Structure 1
């Protein structure tokens, strides 16, 4: 038997103000998208902004449904939209802001497992890392240089 050690490296910014001006604008788009979320059941809002290689910026927010599995997270809303409408463009960056409507979240909140798997599909398909920036409603921002930092044991077509 041997032990396998897996490490994750993230860049930590104390606040959105430490991002460069362009990144601040993109994170503000994610924050604005979060405010448009439809979350009457969980009271948890998520917004995402996606930057494509042609510099088009797309936005999405979580959309809930009384039949919970029928809803969709912000990250998947925006990345599936990109795949459907910009199939030849590559995703470069994703910015995410998430917070409860009942208490303001100040801890960075990463994508859920289903979203990580969906983002992984695009990162593998395009053979290009997707930088992921995530935060709560305010406070610190975490940056991952690749989805692989957030989901180190990817399940992909090589496993099929």
Structure 2
């Protein structure tokens, strides 16, 4: 599988900066959550979404042991180890220890990432050690 140019992924991600946070949305400049941001970047870099995302509750990550986000990403993206994640990689974070991964971001540099954060919208911020230690899975965007 050919991989998308990481610079293209990062440019697409940064074009979402300032988009307000909106649960379950995926419209640049209008609103998105972290999954909606990843879906929007996919549409810009790869093409149409390969399958519809079913509605999900705000507490979906607390309702079961399955790694739902990782399973979905594996269906369409090559997985790499978190240690091998570089700028342009999609990363999944465990917000709480021993919980499933339920937050999504895009690495934009060796020490920065971009994500949709409740109350703040789409922001780019430092990948602090606290964030880095929460990365549970990493994936690469395929080429269109």
Query: Does the TM-score normalized on the shorter chain lie above 0.5?
Result: no
Give me the TM-score of the superposition, normalised by structure 1: 0.32
Q: Which has the larger radius of gyration?
A: 1
Give me the TM-score of the superposition, normalised by structure 2: 0.34
- The higher relative CO (CA closer than 8 Å, separation ≥ 6) is in 2
More helix by percentage:
1
